[in-house]
Amino acid sequence: MKLYMAPMEGITNHVYRQAYLHHFGQIDRYYMPFLSSTGLNYKEIRDIAPENNQGMDVIPQILTNQTDVFLGLAGMLKDFGYSEVNLNLGCPSGTVTAKGRGSGFLRFLPELDRFLEEIFATSPLPISVKTRIGYADEAEWPAILELLMKYPFTEMIIHPRLRMDLYRGEVRPGTYEFAVERTVKAEKASDYLCYNGDINTVEDYEILRSRFPGAEKVMLGRGLIANPGLPGELRGDGSMKREQLGAFLDEIYTEYRKIVPDEKNTLFRLLEIWTYLSRSFPEGEKVLKRIRKSKSLREYESVVCEALRTFGD
């Protein structure tokens, strides 16, 4: 089994990834939130800086529909020491898709074909892809998959939802099944596909494995942020301990205090994590509400302290 941490803008940055590595460390690969311009800002440079990514297998991600942006970023990432990049064809955000990027690119297959041909011709790094299965209709998937399979992606991470699904409703497992069958037929390596979407519990994973016994690689997003102990549970190592979670949160807090100048912004970033993490607490909704209302870090600390007391052992 290979477990990946999903890229999540605003959450799985280097602070989160490093704290995760130090206190949980059950992840084989970490995917970074996307970069979309060669004019990297300070935050992005800090996120990709090798010294902030020690001890882990990290893959940066690019979101663009422009060849020169992709190649420019891939070149910079190579200079930073990275050995692979991931192409984002999944982002459903309206501002992204309106520009024909992310899952918006899936509506323009001739343009996507040309873009892929150009980037694969000269990319300084091998490329993997993270994709949705269409924009508005499942019927789009066979043509999208056929197009993607023309190119030598190192792996294909599939989130079986349409752009129009956003993150809501059930995933569409039939489309993943289609990809499994198609890639077997094309004699792709058995670890070519990676499944992503709604794996929140051991039971979810077991259902996935019973339907797809070959699903060796799984990317975890919201389920992992809600329960950082999920990878350990999937590996049969038991669930997370209160002390472990406390130390993990402490490290995130301390690191944010070092790099985020003001309390309001620090609180905002911590809140992004708690939006999901609160689900692991017996009175999660209440905890989240109190964190949302916290006006100072002192207040935040006392809410978290109290919440941790209610958390298992």
Ligand X SMILES: Cc1cc2nc3c(=O)[nH]c(=O)nc-3n(C[C@H](O)[C@H](O)[C@H](O)COP(=O)(O)O)c2cc1C
Contact status, residue 63 vs residue 35, Cβ threshold 8 Å: yes
Q: In the window 28-57, what residues touch ligand X (CB under 6 A)?
A: 33-34
Select the residue interacting with ligand X from 26, 65, 175, 196 (CB under 6 A).
196
Select the residue interacting with ligand X from 60, 223, 228, 232 (CB under 6 A).
223
Does residue 228 interact with ligand X by CB under 6 A?
no
Does residue 221 interact with ligand X by CB under 6 A?
yes
Residues 6+ apart with CB under 8 A from 58: 17, 29, 30, 31, 32, 82
Comparing CA positions, the residue from 11, 22, 47 lying closest to residue 273 is 11
Does residue 172 interact with ligand X by CB under 6 A?
no
CA distances from 177 to 27, 90, 181, 195, 278 (A): 25, 18, 6, 11, 33
Does residue 61 interact with ligand X by CB under 6 A?
yes
Give me the least distance between CB of 35 and ligand X, in Å please.
9
Q: Interface with ligand X by CB under 6 A: which range of 19-27, 77-85, 141-149, 215-223?
A: 215-223
Binding mask 145-164 for ligand X (x = CB under 6 A): --------------x-----
Give me the least distance between CB of 310 and ligand X, in Å please.
25
Place of tokens 């994590």: 273
Q: In the window 62-101, what residues touch ligand X (CB under 6 A)?
A: 88, 90-91
How far is Cα 111 from Cα 188, in angstroms, rounded to an integer?
Answer: 25
How far is Cα 35 from Cα 9, in angstroms, rounded to an integer?
Answer: 10
**How many residues are there in the chain?**
313
Select the residue interacting with ligand X from 130, 217, 269, 290 (CB under 6 A).
130
How far is Cα 145 from Cα 281, in angstroms, rounded to an integer?
Answer: 40
Site size with ligand X, rule: CB under 6 A: 23
Give me the least distance between CB of 208 and ligand X, in Å please.
11
Pick 8 or 19: Cβ nearer ligand X = 8
Query: What does residue 29 show for φ and ψ, rounded to 5 degrees?
Result: -150, 140
Give me the least distance between CB of 222 and ligand X, in Å please.
3
Comparing CA positions, the residue from 134, 223, 129 lying closest to residue 175 is 134
Q: Which residues bind ligand X (CB under 6 A)?
A: 6-11, 33-34, 61, 88, 90-91, 130, 159, 167, 196-199, 220-223
